[in-house]
Amino acid sequence: MVNTGIGGNRLLNGSPCFGDAALVRFQRDVLDQARARTAIVLLGINDIVSNDVDTFGCFDPRPTVTAQQIIDGHRKMIRAAHAHGIRMIGATITPYEGFQFYTAQGERLRQEVNRWIRTSGEYDAVVDFDRVVADPSAPGRIRAEYDSGDHLHPGDAGYRAMAHAVDLKTL
């Protein structure tokens, strides 16, 4: 297993602090890996958050991103992976209500992207991290026991629950 995730990285746009966009990195990080058979894709929250915040220039450029653009980015990666014989597992975007840069519009985008991941059938399999870590009484929030404290990132228990949610037969 190779983890090529970069904290703060976005699917669609690179940035001076968080590197090339995932769409740019996908070739070297996944497709160029000789033994890659499956990729789990958890991307989109930083694109959504950067619509509404600029962290000291780290999210420049900062074009407004739509759910459709995020979905189209996922589709590009799926097509490229399938052309290389690599299975793709789509991971839903986890809740972030309570995070300092949460917005109702961002939540609508997250829900729209998650609905597509769950129902489109374009991924070979889906792991629903959103439902795994969401607070049942407030589904826009991470459960307290799974929250790192910033209301965006899961803590150790949350990541453990996410890992257990991956069906190893899909790998």
pLDDT in tens, 25-40: 999 999 999 999 999 9
114 lies in some domain = yes
Angle, nearest 10°, between helix axes 104-119 and 67-83? 30
pLDDT digits (tens, 9 = 90+) for 125-145: 999 999 999 999 999 999 999
Q: In which band, very low, low, confident or very high, does the pLDDT at 54 lie, cut at 50, 70 and 90? A: low
Residue 96 domain flag: yes
Is residue 63 a part of any domain in this protein?
Answer: yes
122 backbone dihedrals φ, ψ, rounded to 5°: -80, -30
Query: Does 37 reside within a domain?
Result: yes
Q: Is the pLDDT of residue 57 over 70?
A: no
* pLDDT tens profile 89-134: 999 999 999 999 899 999 999 999 999 999 999 999 999 999 999 9
Residues 6+ apart with CB under 8 A from 63: 13
Residues 6+ apart with CB under 8 A from 119: none
Least confident stretch, 54-68, 133-147, 152-166: 54-68
Six-digit token pair at 56? 């000291």
Supply the range of the domain harboring residue 40.
22-129
Per the structure, the count of domains in the chain is: 1
Let me know if residue 151 belongs to a domain. no
Q: pLDDT band at 154, cuts 50/70/90? A: very high
Q: Are 44 and 8 in contact (CB under 8 A)?
A: no
Residue 168 lies in a domain: no
47 belongs to a structural domain: yes
Strand, helix or coil for residue 53 = coil
For residue 54, give the CATH number of its domain: 3.40.50.1110
Judge whether 141 lies within some domain: no
> Percent of the chain, pLDDT > 90?
76
